[in-house]
Amino acid sequence: MSLQIKHLKLKITTPDGLFGVDIPFSNGLFVLHADNTSGKSTCLQSILYALGLEGMMGSSHDIPLPQVATDVLTYGDKDYSVLESEVLLEISNGSEYLTTRRQIKGEQSNQIITAWNGPVLSQSATPYASNNYFVRIPGGASREAGFHRLLANFVGWNLPTVPNYNEGETLLYMETLFPYMFVEQKRGWSSLRNRTPTHFRIKEVSRRAFEFLFDLDAQEIATQRTILNQQKEVIKSKWSSKISECSHIVQSINGIVDNIPLQPEANWPPSIQPRILVSREGNWISISQFTSDLEEHLRSLEAQDIPTVEDISEDAQNELQVKQDQLVIIDTNVKLKFEEIENQTSQITEIRSRISSLEEEVLKNRDLRKLSDLNAAQDLQTSTGVCPTCQQSITDSLIAPQEMNPPMTIDQNVEFIREQLRIFQAMLQSEERNFEIKNRELNSIKSRAIEVREDIRALKTTLTSQSNAPSYSAIEERVRLTEKVRHVRLIRDQVDVLLGSFSELSDQWREVQTGLSALPDGALSREDRSKLNDLENSFRQQLQEYGFSSINPSEIEISPDTYFPEYEGYDLQFDLSASDYIRVFWAYLLGLLEVSRNHQTNHLGVLILDEPRQQSARETSIEAFLRRASLSREFNQQVIVATSESVSVLEQYIGDIPHTYRRFDGVIISPMS
């Protein structure tokens, strides 16, 4: 990944001729010197404009260049109207060249960039192929004719898609990355954290930009963890749906499927295999036993001839009385079971209410912990047994104080409540299971009541039939029993197929668990931590070299969460002097450049700073910074610094370090031949 600024040419056409500037650049430290308001910032902003990157400074589509390039040019004591203006920029990726041209004022739209595949400015006699590309309109970073797609390919960037605030994904635009490599004078030095543009509506845009620029595995780890956790939830949902489907299927025979794990398991079948239980006369028996009993009863009936009414009239009369007595008992059992279910419902309601209260307690204690962490929870002296006036020991009770155990801390209280929550959630799960069982038992009793009523109806029909007619009740019993055997077998087969389908979910669950266990424990990989440690070491070392004095540099850390420097978990901007905060800028941005020398990153190896000596930073500080920046030449990197520092002082700073020095004594934009 590399970007080198090779040549800048700004051309402004006026009625009296051509004005502009032509600046060849070189690798290493490049110092551009001119007085204030002489055009230094215009040159650096022209670099951004030529690359279509002015969006890093805001969402406005206004041309970010001063009126000298757009309206009126002042040279000497005379003003010149600007008729046309354009900027040309030659760049390299280390092996190839690209030259861009973008009009500032003129007939051509400023949303068009012309690009040549070669060093047009430094080798103007050689013809190179050119194409037009669009910029700063939708598709500029993704379409084949988009300039930022061309530029990304040229520098070796494969821009990722990241979450946005529209509940979708979008490209990580180049404008979000260049604030780590380019600081413009007006707003660039105000805040280290808040320089990344937010108008692209990218979630955690600074974090995403840093992770890409530093080529951290964190984003990939987070993405993989999110995908795997989503897959977990899908599997759990499917698992739960299959359990519900099993329960629904066996409901018609008043059964339950016992021993199904409520949560997915990595091995199927489980050690205690699931089985179907059927409620019969208050007892639970296996479906195989239930089916066997039905089949045996059916065989015994089929082995007998169907009797006539005359043969069984007396037995039918007695059986009718028995069935009627049974129905009375069954109706009583239905009422009793209803009462049990109502009690069960009340218990479940109470447990749910208790769980809700415990969850609220957890939230309250978390809030209290936040306040405590922020030192917002202050103890009253009277609550600690000290008089606020005379400082003597006091008690708020007339009874002699008893020895008391110390109260639990907030964290201990939260853990205690969570343990209570787990207990009550387990109780709720058990009670809901019992509720389901009691409902099946109730349904079994109701089904038995229906069967008895059908028997009573059949017996009455038999007793009122002709004496030589076959027994209606005997025929109906055979038909009903045959259908019941068929239905129970069907239910058993359906559940067997459904239980078999848990195997696929179990395999998927095992794969997801294996994938999650393979991820690092935290958000960062070992290489990520190595990069951040090297950045932290470079950062601290530079602060010491630059005379940083607000706090001890060794106590400043690069946050593994925000990737910015912090002191005791807080942003440095609020604890530092203005000049020390500028030193933080230097150390952080140059640190990013330095880490890319020893690690694989997406940093382009270029850093452009407009007036880095802000807030009257000491001369020794800027001298140390320039000396450190000059090391970039050894690594084929580039640091471009525009400054209005005193000429004598500046030349003293850079006299004995590798550098390229371009000095303008007057205004930079002047007549061109």
Residues 646, 184, 604, 9: is their CA dihedral positive or negative? negative
User: What is the average per-residue pLDDT within 127-155?
Assistant: 95
Q: Is the pTM of this model over 0.75?
A: no
DSSP-assigned states of every residue in 616-669: T--HHHHHHHHHHHGGGGGGT-EEEEEE---HHHHHHHHTTS--EEEE-SS-SS
Residue 75: band (very low, low, confident or very high) from pLDDT cuts 50, 70, 90:
very high
Above pLDDT 90, what percent of the chain? 56
What is the C-alpha to C-alpha distance for residues 655 and 471, in angstroms, rounded to an integer? 122
Residues 615, 617, 619, 623: is their CA dihedral positive or negative? negative
pLDDT at 386: 54
User: What is the average per-residue pLDDT within 432-442?
Assistant: 80
What is the C-alpha to C-alpha distance for residues 41 and 185, in angstroms, rounded to an integer? 7
Residue 325: band (very low, low, confident or very high) from pLDDT cuts 50, 70, 90:
confident
User: What is the average per-residue pLDDT within 298-313?
Assistant: 76
Secondary structure (3-state) at 215: coil
Partnered with residue 393 across adjacent β-strands are: 386
* DSSP code of residue 162: E
* DSSP code of residue 160: P
Residues 477, 478, 481, 483: is their CA dihedral positive or negative? negative
Q: What's the pLDDT tens digit per position in 456-493?
A: 876 677 666 566 677 777 788 888 889 889 989 999 99
Residue type, 256: I
User: Who contacts 506 (Cβ-Cβ below 8 Å, separation ≥6)?
Assistant: 264, 265, 266, 267, 268
Q: Identify which has the larger pLDDT, 130 or 521.
A: 130
Taking alpha carbons only, the member of 151, 147, 129, 150 closest to residue 138 is 147
User: Which of the following CATH numbers is that of domain 4-217+524-671: 3.40.50.1980, 3.40.50.20, 3.30.420.10, 3.40.50.300?
Assistant: 3.40.50.300
- Asked if pLDDT for residue 316 goes beyond 70, the answer is no
Q: Sheet containing 606-610: give its strands across.
A: 182-183, 606-610, 638-643, 28-33, 660-663
Partnered with residue 72 across adjacent β-strands are: 81
pLDDT at 387: 58
Residue 158: band (very low, low, confident or very high) from pLDDT cuts 50, 70, 90:
very high
What is the C-alpha to C-alpha distance for residues 22 and 631, in angstroms, rounded to an integer? 26
| Paired tokens of 19 | 């004005």
Half-sphere exposure of 425 (CA within 13 A, CB side): 9
- Asked if pLDDT for residue 506 goes beyond 90, the answer is yes
Radius of gyration of the chain (CA): 41
pLDDT at 452: 76
Least confident of 249-263, 407-421, 649-663: 407-421
Residue 337: band (very low, low, confident or very high) from pLDDT cuts 50, 70, 90:
confident
Is the peptide bond between 163 and the residue preceding it cis, with omega within 30 degrees of 0? no
What is the C-alpha to C-alpha distance for residues 563 and 210, in angstroms, rounded to an integer? 7
H or E element that contains 130: strand 130-134
Is the Cβ–Cβ distance between 608 and 181 less than 8 Å? yes
Taking alpha carbons only, the member of 651, 191, 255, 256 closest to residue 484 is 255
pLDDT at 521: 83
Q: What's the pLDDT tens digit per position in 183-231?
A: 998 888 888 988 899 999 999 999 999 999 999 998 888 888 889 999 9
Q: What's the pLDDT tens digit per position in 544-596?
A: 999 999 899 999 999 999 999 999 888 887 778 888 999 999 999 999 999 99
Backbone φ, ψ for residue 105 (5° rounding): -135, 135
Residue 380: band (very low, low, confident or very high) from pLDDT cuts 50, 70, 90:
very low
Neighbours of 646 (CB within 10 A): 12
Is the Cβ–Cβ distance between 155 and 40 less than 8 Å? no
What is the C-alpha to C-alpha distance for residues 46 and 27, in angstroms, rounded to an integer? 19
- Asked if pLDDT for residue 519 goes beyond 50, the answer is yes
Residue ranges covered by each domain of the chain: 4-217+524-671, 219-306+471-519, 308-468
CATH class of 308-468: mainly alpha
- Asked if pLDDT for residue 55 goes beyond 90, the answer is yes
Secondary structure (3-state) at 196: coil
Taking alpha carbons only, the member of 151, 167, 74 closest to residue 117 is 151
Is the Cβ–Cβ distance between 111 and 135 less than 8 Å? yes
Partnered with residue 299 across adjacent β-strands are: none
pLDDT at 401: 53
Backbone φ, ψ for residue 388 (5° rounding): -70, -15
pLDDT at 381: 46
| Paired tokens of 520 | 């690092």
What is the C-alpha to C-alpha distance for residues 195 and 180, in angstroms, rounded to an integer? 9
Average pLDDT in the chain: 88
Q: Identify which has the larger pLDDT, 367 or 517.
A: 517
pLDDT at 615: 56
Residue type, 352: R
Q: If DSSP states are collapsed to H, E and C, what string results for 262-328?
A: CCCCCCCCCCCCCEEEEEECCEEEEHHHHHHHHHHHHHHHHCCCCCEHHHHHHHHHHHHHHHHHHHH
- Asked if pLDDT for residue 532 goes beyond 80, the answer is yes
- Asked if pLDDT for residue 309 goes beyond 70, the answer is no
